[in-house]
Amino acid sequence: MVKDKYFKKKKTLKINGKLFEIDKALIMGIVNLTPDSFYSESRFSNIDTVLKTIDEMLKNGADIIDIGAVSTRPGAKSVTEEEEISRLLPYVKIIRKQFPEIIISLDTSRANVAKLFVNDFNVSIINDISAGSYDSKMFETIKELDVPYIMMHIKGEPENMQKSPDYEDVTIEVLKYFSEKIAKLKLLGVNDIIIDVGFGFGKSVEHNYQLLNDLGKFKIFGLPILAGISRKSMINKVLNISPKDALNGTTVLNTIALLNGADILRVHDVKEAVECRRIVEYYFDN
C-alpha cells in the first residue's frame, strides 16, 4: 500500500471566532438525548449520567461533543421542534455551565433550533443530517450564525430511507449532491463546511462499503470529511451481531476511514477511537 500523505495535509475551521487547525483527525463523542437511539448504551435519561459520560469522553481525548435529541435511526419518526428543544434545553444549559470551554456540536436539521443554541449556549458547530433539505432556512441561518456546518448525504428520511435504497452509482450520486450543496453555501459566503457521506442513511450495506472504499474521492472538495460508522448496521449485518457487540468492527472501519482520508471520526467509544487514530498516525510517520 502506498501511504497517502494527504492524511497529513492541514485543514482549518473557524470555531468560536478563532482559527482551528485540523492537524490530526478529530474525535467526536456522541451524546444522544433520545429515548430510542439504535444503540441502547448511548441513550441517557438523567443529567448526572450525561455529565459523567462527557467528562470521561474528554479525559479519553474527545475533541468535540456531538449532542442530539432527535433519533435518526432507520424507521425513526420525527418529533416536533418544541419537543426537540424541550429535550435539549435542560441538558445543554448544565453541560455548558459544567464544561464552558468545550466544542459542542449540535445534531439538528432545524434552523430555529440551531439559532437558539448557538446564540444562547455557544454551540460551536451545527451537524445537519439533511444538508439543508429539511429546512429551507438552514443555509441562510448558518451564514448568519457563522459557525462550521456539517452536512450529510441522506436519501429520503429516517422513517423511510432504508426501504430499498437504489443508486445507479452511489459514489457519483453523492459527489454530485455535495458539489451542488457546496456551491449554494459558497454563494452565500459559507466556507467552514464539513462533509459526511452518510453511512447507513439511505444506503444498503454494499452502498456503504463502496463509499468507504471511495472516501478518498471526496478529497476533491478540499473540505474536512467526517466518518460516522460507529456500531452501525454495515458492521452488524456483515458479522451478524448487535450494536452492543460492534466495537471491534467499528475500530476496523474507523481505521479504514482514516487511511482513506477521514478528518473526523464520530463515535460512541472515544478511547478506542483515539487509540485507532494514534496507531494510524504512527503508521504514516514510519
User: Radius of gyration (Cα) for the chain, nearest Å?
Assistant: 18
Residue 23's Cβ-side half-sphere holds a number of Cα atoms within 13 Å equal to 3
The catalytic residue among 110, 232, 244, 278 is 232
Supply the pLDDT for residue 79: 86
176 is catalytic: no
Supply the pLDDT for residue 2: 47
Sign of CA dihedral 155, 161, 162, 164: negative
The catalytic residue among 155, 181, 231, 266 is 266
pTM of the predicted structure, to 2 decimals: 0.92
266 is catalytic: yes
Supply the pLDDT for residue 162: 65
Q: What is the DSSP letter of 43?
A: B
Q: How far apart are CA 161 and CA 77, in angstroms?
A: 11
Full set of structural domains in the chain with CATH? 24-285 (3.20.20.20)
User: Contact at 8 Å (CB) between 104 and 95?
Assistant: yes
Q: How far apart are CA 224 and CA 196, in angstroms?
A: 9
Alpha helices in the chain (DSSP H): 47-59, 81-98, 111-121, 138-145, 170-188, 205-213, 233-239, 247-259, 270-285
Supply the pLDDT for residue 1: 45
Supply the pLDDT for residue 5: 47
Task: Return per-residue pLDDT of the chain as tens, 286 residues.
Answer: 445 544 455 688 999 888 888 889 999 999 998 765 555 565 666 899 899 999 999 999 999 999 999 876 666 577 899 999 999 999 999 999 999 999 999 999 999 999 999 999 999 999 999 999 999 999 999 999 999 999 999 987 666 656 767 899 999 999 999 999 999 999 999 999 999 999 999 999 999 999 999 999 999 999 999 999 999 999 999 999 999 999 999 999 999 999 999 999 999 999 999 999 999 999 988 8
Which one, of 39, 4, 12, lies nearest residue 193 by Cα?
A: 12
